[in-house]
Structure 1
Amino acid sequence: MKTAHDLVATAKSRVQEIALADAEQAIRNADVLVDVREADEYAAGHLTGAAHMSRGMLEFKFSANPALESRDLKVVLYCKTSGRAALAAAALQDMGYLNVQSLAGGYDAWTAAGKPITKPETPSFE
């Protein structure tokens, strides 16, 4: 029986992971940057310009959005540490997307390197 780690390892063996050093350029070249973490994780902070599509809804959101139907789109995905993003990248490849990349180390590696993120602003009631 396979574990979640087995599935992630298999996905990582078939998808292209971007090293953190190359991530900013890959994101600039991408047509879409997708955060596949859960909504509360995204709301706590995310890479600037990232669209939120939780891992569980990714295939449905890509299928339902005409702006995402081109299989030539350049897609960069990330999650907390890279497991969910690898699974998401493999799923998009299975759907026929040709230019899918996953950020190695995910959000945690990005923030540990001091790279910019967007956080929601807390409303002021003064």
Structure 2
Amino acid sequence: MQERKRNQRYSKSTSREKTKKSNQIIEKLLKRIFIQNSLFQVLFFLIISVVIGFGSNWLKDDPIPLFAVKLKIATTDDLLSDIVTESVLRAIGLDQARKFHNEGVVFVDARDLEYYEEGHIPGAWNSNHFMELIFRLDSLQGKDRSIVTYCDGDDCGSSEDLAYDLQNEGFTKIFVFVGGWSEWQQAGYSIKK
């Protein structure tokens, strides 16, 4: 009888161990399936999002290009009279900048306000408050009038960045004075402080 009880205990303990092991195996399988299922779901939603994003962009009237086009600076004089309808900036030198200044063309200083306040081309507007600048330019002269942007010199890219931003806002006759403030000063032209 005692032996029978021992056998029952032994069989109960082995069946418990077997059940425990099988439960562990099932848990591991479920975890694997869940992880694989989660990865599948993430991948699925990622693919769907990309397809929807590209599809909606493709269906727009004016889609965003997939790759940015490097904009060039046109330097030929025959471009000076044409309205820019494509993404081209026109670089001008000191003589053309002086001519535009004498004709009353708006100059916009792309430098920080502190440098602008230290000195700038007379009549130039500062670009620190961009939305105010856009409103002012648009209300005073419209988007098809000439604008000259400049910064500190030919190694300063702020005037080009500003010109691109103005183009994005719909302005069409934008010129970049490449020599900028330093060339204007060196030429001895009038300055305002």
- Same fold, TM-score > 0.5, yes or no: yes
Partners of 1:102 and 1:91 lie apart in 2 by 12
Partners of 2:185 and 2:125 lie apart in 1 by 18
Give the aligned partner of residue 83 of structure 1: 157
- Cα deviation per residue 1:66-92 (whole Å; 9 max; x = unaligned)? 525721121111111241111111111
Give the aligned partner of residue 72 of structure 1: 144
Partners of 1:48 and 1:98 lie apart in 2 by 23
Give the aligned partner of residue 12 of structure 2: none
Give the aligned partner of residue 176 of structure 2: 102
Q: Is the contact made by 1:71 and 1:96 (CA closer than 8 Å) also made in structure 2?
A: yes
Instruction: Determine which of 87, 109, 115 is the counterpart of 2:189.
Output: 115
Q: Is the contact made by 1:35 and 1:51 (CA closer than 8 Å) also made in structure 2?
A: yes
Q: C-alpha displacement at 1:63, in angstroms? A: 3.6
User: Highest relative contact order (Cα 8 Å, sep 6+), 1 or 2?
Assistant: 1
Task: Work out the percentage of aligned pairs sharing the same amino acid.
Answer: 28
Gaps of 5+ in 2: 1-69, 74-87
Give the aligned partner of residue 62 of structure 1: 133
- Cα deviation per residue 1:33-54 (whole Å; 9 max; x = unaligned)? 2112111101111111111222
Which one has the bigger helix percentage? Answer: 2
TM-score using structure 1 length: 0.73
Residues 1:43 and 1:93: Cα distance change in structure 2 (over 3 Å): same
Q: Which deviates more from structure 2 when the two are superposed, residues 41-50 or residues 79-88?
A: 79-88
Q: Is the contact made by 1:76 and 1:103 (CA closer than 8 Å) also made in structure 2?
A: yes
Amino acid at match of 1:113: A
Count of residue pairs the alignment pairs up: 107
> Aligned to 1:15, what secondary structure does the other structure show?
strand
Q: Which deviates more from structure 2 when the two are superposed, residues 90-99 or residues 67-76?
A: 67-76
> Aligned to 1:77, what secondary structure does the other structure show?
strand
Partners of 2:149 and 2:108 lie apart in 1 by 5
Please say if 1:42 is aligned against 2:82.
Answer: no
Gaps of 5+ in 1: 1-9, 120-126
Q: CA RMSD in A?
A: 2.0
